[in-house]
Copies of this chain bind each other. A is one copy, B any other.
């Protein structure tokens, strides 16, 4: 087994560094679920043997995956596959906080759930064909008991076979945790576009707000490992008491 891997790697067309190949091999294992969320991956010493390279080369591959928040290193313990727990959601994916800086985990309530077909916009965002089957549901998010955000979420049915309203309602943790644990889809990155817009009647009604209130409209696409779109989400946020918080980088 070890020899095979080494050959496969050194047989690469070259020009591509070994550590990049190893990074790809690791991503493949993550994608296939060979390395499951929350579990420790083999130690650097094991990987060094398995891939037949120096330990520094292994570390360089792991470095990149750690920088992408895909793996998590812990000195003395091991290197782990990142999971979608509440902390990670709050830190990396939920960008709304009170204007005084207070940040907390939102309470989520599902409004409705339906099977539908992708319109042009959804198809483009999810990189699927127009008319392909999708699941669509809406969530109301609250902070400190106050409803302030409506999420309309669209998933390609092909990626989420047999996902039912019941399973969504009864999920014990975050949505992304469900995607990860039940369907092997780990969200590792999002792209989003924000704009200001007057609250659509539907949205205002769902949140119990006056129609015509200015709201933040967010279009977000969530991707898993190989830039595969997993979810498209349109959010409307009441920003009268809360902000969307961002920074530089990329």
Contacts and interface: CB of A to CB of B under 8 A. Distances in A.
Interface of A: 67, 69, 91-93, 99, 189-198, 214-217, 219, 237, 239-240, 242-250
B198 A92 contact: no
A56 to B, nearest CB: 9
11 contacts: A67-B67, A93-B248, A99-B193, A191-B246, A192-B245, A192-B247, A193-B244, A194-B246, A195-B239, A196-B237, A198-B214
A244 B194 contact: yes
A196 B239 contact: yes
Contact of A214 (B69, B194, B214, B246): B214
Given A195-B216, A197-B196, A214-B196, A92 B247 contact: no
A244 B93 contact: no
B250 A250 contact: no
A92 B92 CA distance: 19
A215 B248 CA distance: 21
A179 to B, nearest CB: 15
Contacts of A195: 99, 216, 239-240, 242-244
A24 B246 CA distance: 26
A140 B196 CA distance: 19
A48 to B, nearest CB: 17
A246 B197 CA distance: 18
A12 to B, nearest CB: 20
A242 B250 CA distance: 20
Query: Which has the most chain B C-beta neighbours within 10 Å: A216, A244, A246?
Result: A246
B190 A247 contact: yes
Contacts of A99: 193, 195
Nearest to A193: B243
Contacts of A193: 99, 243-246
A248 B194 contact: no
A207 to B, nearest CB: 14
Contacts of A240: 195
A189 B243 contact: no
A75 to B, nearest CB: 12
Given A194-B194, A196-B215, A249-B250, 15 more contacts: A67-B67, A92-B248, A189-B249, A190-B247, A190-B248, A191-B247, A193-B246, A194-B216, A194-B246, A195-B240, A196-B216, A196-B217, A197-B214, A197-B239, A246-B246
